[in-house]
Amino acid sequence: MTKQYTETKYFNLPEGETFTLESGARLKELKIAYETYGDLNDEKTNAVLVCHALSGDAHAAGYAEGENKPGWWDTMIGPGKAFDTEKYFVICSNVIGGCKGSVGPRSINPDTEKPYGLSFPIVTIRDMVRAQKKLVDCFGIEKLLSVSGGSMGGMQVLQWAVEYPENVVSCIPIASAYKHTAQQIAFDEVGRQAIMSDPDWRSGDYYGGDPPSRGLAVARMVGHITYMSNASMNKKFGRMLKKEKLGYEFTSEFEVEGYLRYRGDNFVRRFDANSYLYLTKAMDYFDLQRDKKLAQVFKDVKSRFLVVAFSSDWLYPSEQSKDIVKALKMNGKDVTYCEISSAYGHDAFLLESEEQAKLIKHFLNRSFKKTGSK
């Protein structure tokens, strides 16, 4: 198969238009980095929006110029794949607050001509989705055939269904939740504290100097433990040593220690610590239910649903997906639930491509047929 090359493009609000966030703060510029794969049909009925997770970006599939690693969901997006680019027009955009091309704390504040840092306003999942809607509108797409994504991406999917019931034919929230629990907030808070404890963080004003790499690496290590399952960690590392025997010293002696350090060090080269704060905060704020009953929240939803969870995911346990399914069923909505048996933990949404691909392929196919398109 030939390598599919992709290019990141940028969307901007028309000159003079501002974007008001849930907090009431306003952004003067709403730059959104995005990629598209496949072609939009004439009726504009084949568009699928893919939403990324915490550390993801707009580059979901194919190869960027000069890179050897494809996009983060390349196993799922491409010709003949689950999101078949010979049939569908796939859009993926970097969330606002992120650091991969969309406006975020690293961007230049037009008022000061310096990076925002912590003066960037807090963004919510709803803000991310409302920004995506602007992007989707610019294509002239009235109804998205589907909105799909795992983890934080799944939260965006749920928000789309509730916020824009008329504009979404089908939804695929994967390994996600309709609100963060105390434990989920707690893990995020530890990551934030690790970053904010790093003296290099300097209250977020580190651009131009050394970034808080040590803090961000620790945050990423905590994250990685929660993304894997106990079983997958035991299988991958167990108590294996990097050297022949224990050295009775404070180096990374066990394979799992080396792996965590590697993951941490790797991450700081490609991610902005402030964005880590903003995006985890957005997830912690996420609560579709608030003071309502969850069933009530989904009352006016019009899309079909495929809800996917993974058996060994303990960060977003399947119970959270089942709660979504129940609340949709209470409203008589068209919802299919599938718990995929996997040892990969939360990471499964990026790794268990075979079964996930089949499920999504069929679901999209039926959704597409229901629109009456060919």
Please give the Cα distance from 298 to 294 (Å, whole number): 7
Rg (CA), the chain: 21
Residue 224 CB, nearest approach to its own copies (Å): 8
Interface positions, 13-72, toward its own copies (CB under 8 A):
22-23, 25
Among 27-35, 37-45, 76-84, 175-183, the segment contacting its own copies (CB under 8 A): 175-183
222 lies in the binding site for its own copies (CB under 8 A): yes
Contacting residues for 25 by C-beta, under 8 A, at least 6 apart: 121, 122
- CB nearer to its own copies: give 70 or 264: 264
238 lies in the binding site for its own copies (CB under 8 A): yes
Question: Please, are residues 109 and 115 in contact by the beta-carbon 8 Å criterion?
Answer: yes
> HSE-up of 120 (CA within 13 Å, CB side)?
31
* Residue from 106, 126, 143, 281 in contact with its own copies (CB under 8 A): 281
* Residue from 205, 284, 334, 339 in contact with its own copies (CB under 8 A): 284
Number of residues forming the site for its own copies (CB under 8 A): 57
181 lies in the binding site for its own copies (CB under 8 A): yes
Tell me which residue of 111, 33, 99 sits closest to 277, measured CA to CA.
Answer: 99
DSSP H/E element including 348: helix 348-351
Would you list the DSSP string of 302-337?
A: -SEEEEEEETT-SSS-HHHHHHHHHHHHHTT--EEE
Interface positions, 130-159, toward its own copies (CB under 8 A):
none
Instruction: State phi, psi for 364 to the nearest 5 degrees.
Output: -65, -40
* Selected catalytic residue, list 313, 318, 342, 347: 313
Residue 122 CB, nearest approach to its own copies (Å): 4
269 lies in the binding site for its own copies (CB under 8 A): no
Question: Helix axis angle, 273-285 relative to 182-196, nearest 10°?
Answer: 160
Query: What spatial distance separates the first Cα and last Cα of the chain, rounded to whole Å?
Result: 27
Please give the Cα distance from 255 to 181 (Å, whole number): 31
Please give the Cα distance from 346 to 308 (Å, whole number): 12
Active-site residue 52, yes or no? no
* Residue from 52, 130, 180, 346 in contact with its own copies (CB under 8 A): 180
Active-site residue 213, yes or no? no
Active-site residue 151, yes or no? yes
251 lies in the binding site for its own copies (CB under 8 A): no
Residue 192 CB, nearest approach to its own copies (Å): 7
> Binding marks (x or -) toward its own copies, 201..220, rule CB under 8 A?
-------------xx-xx--
Instruction: State phi, psi for 174 to the nearest 5 degrees.
Output: -120, 130
- CB nearer to its own copies: give 164 or 187: 187
Quick check: helix, strand or coil at residue 252?
A: coil
> Binding marks (x or -) toward its own copies, 307..346, rule CB under 8 A?
-------x--x-----------------------------
Positive or negative CA dihedral for 320, 324, 325, 329? positive
Binding residues for its own copies, rule: CB under 8 A, are 22-23, 25, 118, 121-122, 179-183, 185-187, 189-190, 192-194, 196-199, 214-215, 217-218, 221-222, 224-225, 228, 230, 233-234, 236-239, 246, 248-250, 252, 254, 256-257, 260-261, 264, 277, 281, 284-285, 287, 314, 317
Please list the active-site residues: 151, 313, 346
